[in-house]
Amino acid sequence: MTIKSIVLASSAILLSSSIAYAGEHHSANALEHAAVAASHAEKSHLELIKEHSKEALHHAKMAAQQHHERKMHMDMAIKKLKEAIDHANKKHSKRASKAAHKALEHIHKSFD
């Protein structure tokens, strides 16, 4: 393993953990606002139910969108990794390299 590959691997681990936390931000906010809305429901505070339900809805939609985009990029990464393996088996170094780089790009994009 080269120093460059070790640094890249370490960076990827740090990036993935911080992005996973950021990606859960909307899910956590949706849960929090839905819980607050539910607690106000017991007291019939309609305005507070509405306000927190709207916030929960916004964050739930954002979380769903993020998860959808992540999945699309990871699906493309899987496709490109399979292509890289196939081309490597056929001794097509340029095509294998290009596919591996594209897979890496999609994996990175799945964290955005």
Which distant-in-sequence residues (6+ apart) come within 8 Å of 96 by Cβ? 83, 84, 85, 87, 88
- 43-66, pLDDT tens digit by residue? 888 998 999 899 989 988 988 888
Which structural domain, as residue segments, surrounds residue 100? 25-110
Q: What CATH number is given to the structural domain containing 65? A: 1.20.120
Residue 55 domain-assigned?
yes
Residue 35 domain-assigned?
yes
Residue 20 domain-assigned?
no
pLDDT given for residue 2 in this prediction = 47
**Residue 6, pLDDT above cutoff 90:** no
Residue 14 domain-assigned?
no
Q: What's the pTM value of the predicted model, to 2 decimals?
A: 0.60
Residue 37 domain-assigned?
yes
Task: Please tell me the total count of domains within the chain.
Answer: 1
The span from the CA of 23 to the CA of 90, in Å, is 38
Residue 91 domain-assigned?
yes
